[in-house]
């Protein structure tokens, strides 16, 4: 008899505890707001300290290679010719296939000319696109730049709105990043 | 290790079946990554098992011998990627021990707060994915919701969501502001309510208890013999926690917290439920530690100016061997470093808790049913990035 009582007791307690759990689920289902956002139409804000793609203040840079030396994965390639105090830039490229976004390239810079932006949407269908030359990169992808002239899609239109704040104008964008960094914790 | 050989079980009189070799993984959701377990099955009973590891081997230790002491810090993130803060902490403490560096007091307290927050995040994954292993989907989403809050909080000072690289040799990358501390405390209040819900949904569910109690029992002696650490060891009733026994950060001495151990609530001591319940209670202890840490957080700098010079010129410790260990969410993470005066160490070794805890799997599985193998693997809470390094 005891075994039968155990058998039905088990079923009862299993149903009871599951019902209790389901009540919690139901409460969440009805009274809690959803926490997900409809990416890519909406995005969550990133903090000012975010470690995204880099941006370079070319006129400040003195070609000292300290950032390249600090890089644990050797993803920064710098080439420039010195004509006295003037620099003739060949390239300042970052291989984002290698980059681990550790931020070690930022603190060694003696003139504070390399920063990290909040750009994180860097998916592409080609390996070559992952190598970004910071001399030409202004914070906008080439296709986005092209879309600015043509008829933009809904996503691109939103990007365009954001980029108008500083994406097209590199100096303004750097100023914005600096302001954010100063504010940041 | 050689692969298992097929053979027939013919020592039974009544019935014998041909032994079946079964691969669990490496692409199996319940192996939590790329673990392959080779099982020899007699019907539904496991007769022998062999964990096959190495699918995620990335030569982390060898990389450590080729980069500078500071540059290895982001690589430690990628070992136990669910508890990057704790890994950073272990490596930073190793380098500090090597150099004899004193860390500012504020940095020490913030390190403790960040490490404990990451411990909660890591245990939340253990809790959520364990539910999925057993067949409960809802807890997983609840766990990830709270983990999201922790990641958003840790994102603010560090700049990334998962691979923080925030705790660095000599201190911290950045200071936090008062609003951050207030937000952390608000999270603590919120989390307490959520924690009670987890228990209603999963911990005290009769079906969940039926699936996990008296399964994969690790007796005390066995736990010690296999060198298990962390919640797996404490689940077997051994009260050993480096935070209390070997306080590697000064604040751990000053805050008040308990060390939950397994009590054999549902039958045998050291079963899957005990290990699970230790993790659940550890989350609340971490909340206690964070609260005390936020209240006692002193002012000052988080990294001395002298230390900041290491960003430009790599440090060169004198010739010595150093071993430093930390209590990670999964157990004792230790780094052994042999320095010989250069900018990079000549030998780096990580004593990974997941690796050592996994060693007990082959002894636990024989005799259990195939469905319970999933429960046992989940209760060990391994991260394959750390097992293979």
Report domain extents, chain A: 1-32, 54-146, 152-184
For the segment A173-180, the average pLDDT, to the nearest whole number, is 66
| Sequence ranges of the domains in chain B | 8-52, 60-388
What is the pLDDT, as a whole number, of residue B297? 86
φ/ψ of B332, rounded to 5, equals -85, 115
Task: Indicate the residue of A17, A28, A108 with minimum beta-carbon distance to B206.
Answer: A17
Radius of gyration in angstroms for the set of CA atoms belonging to chain A, rounded to a whole number? 26
What is the pLDDT, as a whole number, of residue A172? 63
- Give the span between the Cα atoms of B212 and B189, in whole angstroms: 30
Residue B175, min C-alpha distance to chain A (Å): 6
What is the pLDDT, as a whole number, of residue A152? 46
Task: Indicate the residue of B155, B177, B206 with minimum beta-carbon distance to A10.
Answer: B206
Residue of chain B with shortest Cα separation from A71? B71
Domain A54-146: top CATH class: alpha beta
pLDDT in tens, A110-166: 888 888 877 787 788 888 888 877 777 666 555 555 554 555 444 555 555 555 544
What is the pLDDT, as a whole number, of residue B318? 85
Query: Which fold is adopted by the domain B60-388?
Result: Cytochrome-c3 Hydrogenase; chain B (1.10.645)
Name the most confidently modeled range: A54-58, A175-179, B17-21, B73-77. B73-77
CA distances to A5, A69, B273 from B207, in Å: 17, 57, 12
What is the pLDDT, as a whole number, of residue A150? 56
Residue A144, min C-alpha distance to chain B (Å): 25
* Cβ contacts of B256 within 8 Å, gap of 6 or more: B288, B292
What is the pLDDT, as a whole number, of residue A176? 66
What is the pLDDT, as a whole number, of residue A167? 44
Q: What is the 3-state secondary structure (H, E, C) of chain B?
A: CCCCCCCECCCCCCCCCECEEEEECCCCHHHCCCCEEEEEEECCEEEEEEEECCCCCCCHHHHHCCCCCCCCHHHHHCCCCCCHHHHHHHHHHHHHHHHCCCCCHHHHHHHHHHHHHHHHHHHHHHHHHHHHHHCCCHHHHHHHHHHHHHHHHHHHHHCCCCCCCCEECCEECCCCCHHHHHHHHHHHHHHHHHHHHHHHHHHCCHHHHHHHCCCCCCCHHHHHHCCCCCHHHHHCCCCCCHHHHCCCCHHHHHCCCCCCCCCCCCCCCCCHHHHHHHHHHHHHHHHHHHHHHHHCCCCCCCECHHHHHHHCCCCCCCCEEEEEEEEECCEEEEEEEEECCCCCCCEEEEECHHHHHHCCHHHHCCCCEHHHHHHHHHHHCCCHHHHHC
A72/B177 CB distance under 8 A: no
Q: Which of A66, A90, A55 is nearest to A167 (CA)?
A: A55
Residue B13, min C-alpha distance to chain A (Å): 31
| pLDDT-wise least confident of A98-102, B7-11, B299-303 | B7-11
A107/B163 CB distance under 8 A: no
Residue A151, min C-alpha distance to chain B (Å): 34
For the segment B114-121, the average pLDDT, to the nearest whole number, is 92
pLDDT in tens, A63-122: 888 888 888 888 888 888 888 778 788 888 888 888 888 888 888 888 888 888 777 877
* Backbone torsion region of residue B130, taken as left when φ is above 0, otherwise alpha when ψ lies between -120 and 50, otherwise beta: alpha
A102 touches chain B (CB under 8 A): yes
What is the pLDDT, as a whole number, of residue A90? 81
Please name every residue paired with B337 in a beta bridge, in sequence order, or none if there are none.
Answer: B322, B348
CA angle B368, B371, B374 (to 5 degrees): 95
pLDDT in tens, B304-328: 777 777 787 788 888 889 999 899 9
Q: At B119, is the pLDDT very low, low, confident or very high (cuts 50, 70, 90)?
A: very high
Residue of chain B with shortest Cα separation from A68? B312
A108 touches chain B (CB under 8 A): yes
Task: Flag whether pLDDT at A28 surpasses 80.
Answer: yes
- Give the span between the Cα atoms of B119 and B111, in whole angstroms: 12
What is the pLDDT, as a whole number, of residue B120? 93
Task: Indicate the residue of A24, A49, A116 with minimum beta-carbon distance to B174.
Answer: A49
**Residue-level length of chain A:** 185
- Give the span between the Cα atoms of B241 and A141, in whole angstroms: 50
A120 touches chain B (CB under 8 A): no
| pLDDT-wise least confident of A156-170, B182-196, B209-223 | A156-170
Mutate to test the interface with A, among B72, B160, B209 (most CBs of A within 10 A): B160
What is the pLDDT, as a whole number, of residue B133? 87
CA angle B229, B234, B235 (to 5 degrees): 115
- Provide the 8-state DSSP code for A65: -
Please name the residue that has the structure tokens 């644990």.
Answer: A72
Mutate to test the interface with B, among A10, A11, A76, A103 (most CBs of B within 10 A): A103
A66/B72 CB distance under 8 A: no
A104/B138 CB distance under 8 A: no
- Give the span between the Cα atoms of B69 and B104, in whole angstroms: 20
Task: Indicate the residue of B158, B177, B206 with minimum beta-carbon distance to A14.
Answer: B206
The token pair that represents B94 in the structure block = 């190793």
A33 touches chain B (CB under 8 A): no
pLDDT in tens, B168-177: 888 888 888 8
What is the pLDDT, as a whole number, of residue A153? 46
Residue of chain B with shortest Cα separation from A74? B67
Q: Count A/B contacts: CB-CB distance under 8 Å.
A: 83
Residue A181, min C-alpha distance to chain B (Å): 11
């Amino acid at each position: 008899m005891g075994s039968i009582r155990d058998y039905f007791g088990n079923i009862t307690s299993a149903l009871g505890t599951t019902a209790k759990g389901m009540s919690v689920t139901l409460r969440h289902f009805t009274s809690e707001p959803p926490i997900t956002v409809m990416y890519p139409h909406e995005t969550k804000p990133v903090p000012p300290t975010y470690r995204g793609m880099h941006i370079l203040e070319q006129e400040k840079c003195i070609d000292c290679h300290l950032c390249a030396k600090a890089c644990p994965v050797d993803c920064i390639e710098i080439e420039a010719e010195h004509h006295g105090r003037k620099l003739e830039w060949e390239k300042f490229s970052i291989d984002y296939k290698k980059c681990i976004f550790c931020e070690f390239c930022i603190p060694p810079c003696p003139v504070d000319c390399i920063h990290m932006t909040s750009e994180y949407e860097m998916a592409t269908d080609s390996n070559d696109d992952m190598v970004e030359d910071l001399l030409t990169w202004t914070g906008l992808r080439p296709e986005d730049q092209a879309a600015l002239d043509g008829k933009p899609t809904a996503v691109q239109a939103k990007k365009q709105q954001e980029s108008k704040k500083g994406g097209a104008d590199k100096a303004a964008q750097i100023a914005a990043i600096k302001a954010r960094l100063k504010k940041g914790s | 290790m050689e692969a298992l050989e097929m053979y027939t079980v013919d020592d039974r009189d009544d019935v014998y079946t041909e032994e079946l070799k079964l691969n669990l993984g490496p692409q199996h959701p319940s192996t939590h990554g790329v673990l392959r377990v080779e099982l020899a099955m007699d019907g539904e009973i496991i007769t022998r098992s062999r964990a096959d590891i190495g699918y995620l081997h990335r030569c982390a230790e060898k990389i450590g011998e080729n980069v500078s002491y500071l540059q290895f810090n982001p690589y430690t993130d990628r070992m136990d990627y669910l508890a990057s803060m704790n890994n950073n902490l272990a490596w930073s403490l190793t380098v500090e021990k090597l150099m004899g560096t004193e860390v500012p007091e504020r940095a020490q307290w913030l390190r403790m707060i960040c490490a404990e927050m990451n411990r909660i995040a890591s245990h939340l994954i253990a809790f959520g994915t364990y539910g999925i292993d057993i067949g409960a989907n809802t807890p997983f989403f609840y766990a990830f919701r709270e983990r999201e809050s922790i990641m958003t909080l840790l994102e603010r000072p560090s700049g990334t969501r998962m691979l923080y690289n925030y705790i660095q040799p000599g201190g911290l990358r950045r200071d936090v502001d008062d609003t951050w501390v207030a937000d952390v405390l608000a999270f603590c209040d919120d989390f307490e309510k959520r924690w009670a819900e987890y228990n209603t949904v999963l911990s005290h569910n009769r079906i969940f208890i039926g699936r996990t109690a008296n399964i994969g029992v690790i007796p005390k002696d066995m736990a010690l013999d296999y060198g298990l650490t962390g919640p797996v060891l404490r689940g077997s009733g051994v009260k050993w926690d480096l935070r209390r026994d070997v306080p590697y950060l000064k604040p751990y001495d000053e805050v008040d917290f308990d060390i939950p151990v397994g009590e054999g609530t549902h039958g045998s001591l050291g079963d899957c439920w005990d290990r699970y319940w230790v993790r659940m209670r550890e989350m609340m202890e971490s909340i206690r530690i964070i609260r005390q840490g936020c209240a006692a957080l002193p002012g000052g700098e988080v990294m001395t100016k002298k230390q900041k010079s290491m960003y430009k010129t790599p440090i060169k410790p004198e010739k010595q061997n150093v071993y430093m260990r930390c209590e990670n969410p999964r157990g004792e993470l230790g780094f052994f470093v042999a320095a010989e005066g250069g900018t990079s160490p000549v030998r780096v070794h990580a004593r990974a808790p997941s690796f050592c805890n996994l060693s007990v799997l082959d002894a636990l599985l024989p005799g259990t049913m195939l469905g319970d193998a999933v429960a046992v693997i989940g209760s060990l809470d391994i991260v394959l990035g750390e097992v293979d390094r």
